[in-house]
Structure 1
Amino acid sequence: MTTNSRRYFLQRLLASSVTIPFLYSSVASGKTSVLTANQQGPTLRVALMGLGDYASRVAEAMQSCKRAKITGLISGTPAKLQQWGEKYQVPEDSRYSYENFDSIRDNSNIDVVYVITPNALHHEHTIRAAKAGKHVICEKPMALDVKEGQEMIDACAQAGVKLLVGYRMHFEPNTLEIIQMRDKGELGKITFFQGLSGFRIGDPSQWRLNKALAGGGSLVDIGIYSVNGARYMVGEEPIWVTAQETKTDTIKFKDGVDETIQFQLGFPSGAVASCLSSYNIDHLDRFFLSGDKGFAELHPANGYGPIKGRTHKNELRMPHGAQQTLQMDEMAAIILDGKQPIIPVDGIEGLKDVKIMEAIYQACATGQKQELKLL
């Protein structure tokens, strides 16, 4: 990457006076250094809802945030509320159960609720938080179906609060560098995208393998990265989808819980995408974008990092740090400053992915191409 392109990227990422720490790795010296600047602007005060494994990752990453901090906790487990409250210095009167969290409307020390509960609860928890007058960040997938997603968007609009979706990769530096290259025409006319998303899932009793709680299987959990990635990497909205499901273990993957799905997307320009989502195949974490002048690849593309990339020109060496730190500082700027991200993270963005996933399941069930209307 040239000095000019790196400078251009950083200027865009640091717009609206957002300050984010970047960890740079020096290949030559093997040493690391941190680029920091003075904090500017108000701090986003966040209540974490659902204190599970991913919330733990978010909480730890937020300790390095410049513009976001944990000021509230919501959980159904009293012991977790006490443990997390002590660890992150959240007072008892800002710790809530799922039954009483509506009372956060009276807590002026909370700006936003970050919903990190099982998929089936996103709808209820988002609407309740919005009615309490709080902005919402909802983990992906935003909803189980299009009806739920639209109701969540409407509830937040009626309450005058923002609805964002936890698309951490929308702020990932290597990803944004490729999009910059595409927009500058360095890849030429985009013709093809490949997205591979999957792993072998473990404990068969976990909620992700429960249709009632998850709303599906691999597609809604890990395949959504390829659904969403195809859209922002190609730079268009798909107009059709075809899909095929493969299931080899009907005991672990019961009815309504997909094991492996292959799906194909078509775009208005003629570009096509070929994607794979699986809960039973390891080492699937790759994006490949091809144009008539060059290519770009991310491998790994969606893991917690470090994300690695290369193009027809060179390897990408953008900074790596905790993705959730970057995500939360950027979301603070969106909520508090009205910043417009390079890749949207709002409820409409989340709803588009839900529409595509519904169409993928329909294509699997019918064996027929499904037309898409996302705009």
Structure 2
Amino acid sequence: MSLNRRTFIKNSSLLLGYSLFPYSSLYAQANPKQIGVCLVGLGNYSATVLAPALQITKHCKLTGIVTGSPWKIPKWQKRYGIPDKNVYNYNTMHEIANNPDIDVIYIVVPTGLHAKYAINAANAGKHVWCEKPMAKTEAECQAIIDACIKNKVKLSIGYRMQHEPNTQTVIKWATTKPYGTIKTVRAEIGYNVGNPARTWRLDAELGGGTMYDLGVYALNAARYTTGEEPISVSAKQMTTRPEIFTETDETTHFTFDFPSGAMAYGKTSVGKSMHELYVDCQKGWYTLAPFSMYSGVQGKTSDGTLLTIPIRNQQAKQMDDDAVSIINDTPVLVPGEEGMKDIKIVEAIYKAAKSGKTLSLS
């Protein structure tokens, strides 16, 4: 059945956010120390996922917005009680430097604009949360990291899955290897989007493309599941709708070789629904299916162990974890260096697909 990804995200996130709204009041009363968060970019993800999630966080509070769409401002102010002094546009966001209500600037604009506004945020002296993928290029990622180091602010990348408890079990198993040496990993993520709207995700200049948008989840999963960095990559890209995907990929397949001899097979598409991480080991196997959706992540193993630790809201946990690192001045779970590693590989995947050759990543 065809699934419109935008509709699915909007409906599921609204249900998660509003069904838990009373919970936020209890948290706010019990935890006076909260990190003020300013969302930069009020598109679908901010409006239907992050803003509702911020209402149920323990250590965060939505205190500001940056938007280039003035018509959105009254709606956001009414819903979240944001005062005029905490509302900015893209030309005035540098003034956030003088606003004590805002501790963190969360970058939620198209990927091709991440570097520009993440650097602006760091230069304003505020901690930076940058949505995945970190940026379009490795060089842009490094520029963001350098700006955060220069301004002595923390940088965290919005990989929500690494905060999810069942995924954290899989990450731990990369070291403990309860089922023996990992032989192969298969990571697949996709949505069957029947007629995608002409948005920035179809615009190569703005960082569109299925590999950037969805494929980084499969790529990142291959890395955290093995606990290794790939040493070579091969890839191919294709489309069944060339009239729509004129600049970006509809489907991407990639294969990694790891130093241990393990191999990973990744696939991402907006032509097919798939959400599975499968790990084949010397003494058994384990899987998460779905492994990347906003809710319901669960799995099982060859010996019958179930991976079903519940979580209220992935984005709320992600932001709370990152807020705690600010409050306690401890390392973030997913630093900029982690995001940059993925982007280096994404660039290699596109090159490998174009050349038809296996490329070394060393």
TM-score of the superposed pair, with normalisation by structure 2 = 0.88
Q: How does 1:312-351 map to 2 (within 5 A)?
A: 312-313=302-303, 314-340=305-331, 344-351=333-340
Equivalent position of 1:55 in the other structure = 46
Tell me if structure 1 keeps the 8 A contact 2:111–2:208: no
**Shift, 1:40, TM fit:** 6.0
Gaps (5+ residues) in structure 1? 1-22, 24-34
Q: State the 4+ residue runs in structure 1 displaced beyond 4 angstroms.
A: 35-41
Equivalent position of 1:307 in the other structure = 297
The CA distance in 2 between the partners of 1:232 and 1:61, in whole Å, is 25
The CA distance in 2 between the partners of 1:61 and 1:224, in whole Å, is 22
**Shift, 1:340, TM fit:** 4.1
CA distance 1:106–1:340, change in 2 (3 Å): closer
**Shift, 1:36, TM fit:** 8.5
2:77 corresponds to which of 78, 85, 109: 85
Equivalent position of 2:204 in the other structure = 211
Give CA deviations for 1:287-314 in whole Å, capped at 9, x if unaligned.
0112112211111110111112111232
Equivalent position of 2:10 in the other structure = none
Equivalent position of 2:241 in the other structure = 249
Give CA deviations for 1:40-97 in whole Å, capped at 9, x if unaligned.
6832110011111111211101111110111111111122122112211111100111
The CA distance in 2 between the partners of 1:104 and 1:86, in whole Å, is 21
Give CA deviations for 1:107-140 in whole Å, capped at 9, x if unaligned.
0110110011111110110011111111111111
Aligned AA (1:208): R
Aligned AA (1:297): T
Q: How does 1:84-233 map to 2 (within 5 A)?
A: 84-201=76-193, 202-213=195-206, 215-233=207-225
Tell me if structure 1 keeps the 8 A contact 2:134–2:339: yes
User: Which one has a larger percent helix, Structure 1 or Structure 2?
Assistant: 2
The CA distance in 2 between the partners of 1:128 and 1:340, in whole Å, is 22
Q: Secondary structure at the match of 2:315?
A: helix
The CA distance in 2 between the partners of 1:348 and 1:42, in whole Å, is 28
**Shift, 1:269, TM fit:** 0.5
Residue 33 (structure 2) pairs with residue 42 (structure 1): yes
Aligned AA (1:349): E
1:279 corresponds to which of 270, 273, 285: 270
Equivalent position of 2:286 in the other structure = 296
Equivalent position of 1:366 in the other structure = 355
CA RMSD across the alignment: 1.9
The CA distance in 2 between the partners of 1:272 and 1:181, in whole Å, is 16
Give CA deviations for 1:162-185 in whole Å, capped at 9, x if unaligned.
111100001101111223344333
Q: Secondary structure at the match of 2:197?
A: coil
Identity %, equivalent residues: 39
The CA distance in 2 between the partners of 1:220 and 1:297, in whole Å, is 23
**Shift, 1:324, TM fit:** 0.7
Give CA deviations for 1:317-338 in whole Å, capped at 9, x if unaligned.
2012111111111011122213
Gaps (5+ residues) in structure 2? 1-18, 20-25
The CA distance in 1 between the partners of 2:37 and 2:355, in whole Å, is 43
Q: What is the aligned length?
A: 335
Residue 255 (structure 2) pairs with residue 268 (structure 1): no
Tell me if structure 2 keeps the 8 A contact 1:74–1:81: no
TM-score of the superposed pair, with normalisation by structure 1 = 0.85
Give CA deviations for 1:343-375 in whole Å, capped at 9, x if unaligned.
x411100100000000000100111111113xx
Tell me if structure 2 keeps the 8 A contact 1:259–1:280: yes
CA distance 1:160–1:340, change in 2 (3 Å): closer
